Amino acid sequence: MAVSLEARAPLLDHKLIDFVTRIPASLKLANGETKHILKRAVKDLVPAEILIRPKQGFGIPVQEWINQQLREQIRDVLSDGRTRQRGYLNPECLRVLLNEHERSRRDHSSALWALFMLELWHRQFLDGASLPSRRPEFNLVSDTV
């Protein structure tokens, strides 16, 4: 959720959303318990240890994607003339980030991913460019998880 990744597709049905928005807040939050009515509705279907556990995140293998499947594409996009002309990035700093990361001197996965996504977003939504239809093969199940 911190990066606007919505992974709860079953809860996105417009009829459900219309219904939920009409439920009084007192049924959604009771005695400090969030999702009160949802938890009551599924208490016989979902084990208690799942219903009462705190929120927990999940990881995606960004480092693996950057080091393998997207390595050339990230370098190409971030080094491209259009990217440099925007003036958002210092070309020398970017070169250092890419080189240190590719040589495994430092892990700049998070920064490179954010810069890559920023540039692709800019191209699609501000420049109006369509993104390439070629999509890299992703290993969605990481061996490190």
Which secondary structure element, helix H or strand E, spans residue 30, and what is its range? strand 29-30
pLDDT of residue 145: 40
Q: What is the pLDDT of residue 71?
A: 93
Q: What is the pLDDT of residues 87-111, one digit of tens each?
A: 999 999 999 999 999 999 999 999 9
- Core vs surface per residue 132-141: b (16+ CB within 10 A) or e: eeeeeeeeee
Count the neighbouring beta carbons within 10 Å of the beta carbon of residue 34. 10
Cα distance between residue 110 and residue 92, in whole Å: 18
Mean pLDDT of successive 10-residue stretches along the chain, which has 145 residues: 57 82 88 88 93 83 90 94 93 94 92 94 87 56 46
Cβ of 144: how many Cβ atoms within 10 Å? Answer: 7
* The predicted structure's pLDDT at residue 129: 75
Tokens of 77: 């996009």
Model's pTM, two decimal places?
0.57
Q: Give the separation between CA 66 and CA 72, rounded to whole angstroms.
A: 9
